[in-house]
Structure 1
Amino acid sequence: MLEAPLSLRERKKLKTRQTIRREAYRLFAEQGYESTTVEQIAAAAEVSPSTFFRYFATKDDLVLTDEYDPAMIAALLARPADEPFLTSCREALIGLIRQLLQHERQELLIRMRLVTEVPALRAGLHRADHSPAALYLAILLRRAGVEEPSYDMRITAAAIGAASTEAVLCWAAGGGEQDIAELVDHAFALLESGFAGV
């Protein structure tokens, strides 16, 4: 994890969550996403189905949710308040990705490849509760000290969310061969240029 040291209870919960995910990814690789049931995942992780649902609302959520949002929020809030938001997002996201590649590269690749290959997961990326745009919008609101977003804020958050997601999916579709940080950096360069030359 990228966060501060966890309590014993939190470490146990994290370990269970990671075990469920690890066994799920193994089963997905062996028998396919659609053919793998929650019951099979729970049995492989040596937990009950009810325990599975305490950690993940659905099988899709097992792939679509992660523990990275708090780290991203902290990184964004640590950026200078007067820094352009696009620059803050670029620096924070690339920094987070570099950490993930050191510790959780294979898991990130498996997750994102599933999202590129399974239509239900690809569609789930655009739900409000999984949308990166919602995170960026929340930070924009906090930085501006307002409760309701402006049109410009919504467009900015949507563009950054879509661009960063596309960069990660492109990396996964290519089997992780490209430098994901470079893909993200290029996506932000396009945003900053206003897509000049595209």
Structure 2
Amino acid sequence: MKPQTQPDQAKPVTGLRERKKARTKAAIQREAVRMFREQGYTATTIEQIAEAAEVAPSTVFRYFPTKQDLVFSHDYDLPFAMMLQAQSPDLTPIQAERRTIRSMLEDIPPEELALQRERWVLIISEPELWGASLGNMSRTMEIMSEQVAKRAGRDPGDASVRAYAGAVFGVMLQVSLEWAKNPDMDFAVALDEALLFLEDLRP
């Protein structure tokens, strides 16, 4: 008779499985971005990406339903929301945003941060991706408005909330575009300094 697995013994297995999935997803995106850079976004096929990442094409589609998702997909929205809401209520809105962003960037390994810059380079260099990025930016703006409203006890649809979120997002977008053009830029420092100019802004 096989011994029964205790609940606390099963948890590490689940954790290992999730970490393996995360590594597979990261490897696929890393190879995709590399190939897009080397041979062009349009010329690169899902089959080529799958071969480079040593997975089946179906595995690529499991993690990235569309080719564009290989560039746009990231896992930062939920951590950002959770970390922002955990900031002290005594902080001004922009102080909370800056602390959240600094903490997130500190936790991102250098190689992953470099990958994010490569994604921005692709977005601004490929017309198809730049056009598609507008929808992605709109979703990010919605998430930001919701989180700002939650901290302020306001409605996400309030004009002041949306204007505030738009100003913050605009600064983040501008710094990201500059970062794509300048690989020597310290993205974390540049973004923090730029957001400081919004210190007196309130939703």
TM normalised by structure 2 equals 0.81
Amino acid at match of 1:187: A
Q: Structure 1 unaligned segments of length 5 or more: list them.
A: none
Maintained 8 Å contact 1:64/1:124: no
Greater gyration radius: 2
TM superposition shift of 1:130: 6.3
Equivalent in the alignment of 1:82? 90
Inter-CA distance 9–39: structure 2 relative to 1 (3 Å threshold): same
Distance (Å, rounded) in 2 between the aligned partners of 1:87 and 1:113: 29
Question: Which digits, 9 at most, give the CA deviation of each residue in 1:154-196, with x for residues without a partner?
Answer: 111122112112212211211x2112122212321333367xx
Does 1:157 find its partner at 2:165? yes
Distance change >3 Å, CA 26–CA 128, structure 1 → 2: closer
**Aligned mates of 1:94, 1:116 — CA distance in 2:** 25
Instruction: Give the conservation status (yes or no) of the 8 Å contact 2:124–2:130.
Output: yes
The size of the alignment, in residue pairs, is: 189
Per-residue CA shift, 1:90-148, capped at 9, x if unaligned? 22112322332545232122112112212222233321576432221121232245565
- CA–CA distance in structure 2, aligned partners of residues 59 and 160 of structure 1: 29
Q: 1:128 to 1:21 in 2, by over 3 A?
A: closer
RMSD over aligned Cα atoms = 2.4
Partner of 1:191: 198
- SS state of the match for residue 118, structure 2? helix
Q: Is contact 2:72–2:136 with CA below 8 Å preserved after alignment?
A: no
Query: Would the alpha carbon gap of residues 113 and 148 (structure 1) be closer, same or farther in structure 2, given more than 3 Å must change?
Result: closer
Whole-angstrom CA distance in 2 between matches of 1:116 and 1:97: 22
Structure 2 CA distance for partners of 1:42 and 1:132, relative to 1, 3 Å:
same
Q: Percent identity?
A: 35
- The equivalent residue for 2:5 is none
**Mean Cα deviation higher: 123-132 or 50-59:** 123-132
Identify the match of residue 47 of structure 1 among 38, 55, 60.
55
Amino acid in structure 1 at the alignment position of 2:194: A
* 2:135 aligned partner: 127
State the distance in 1 between where 2:84 and 2:91 align. 10
- Output aligned runs, 1:1-198, within 5 Å: 7-100=15-108, 102=110, 104-128=112-136, 131-145=139-153, 148-174=156-182, 176-192=183-199
Question: For 1:191, what is the secondary structure of its paired residue?
Answer: coil
Instruction: Give the gaps of 5 or more residues in structure 2.
Output: 1-11
* Range that drifts further, 94-103 or 66-75: 94-103
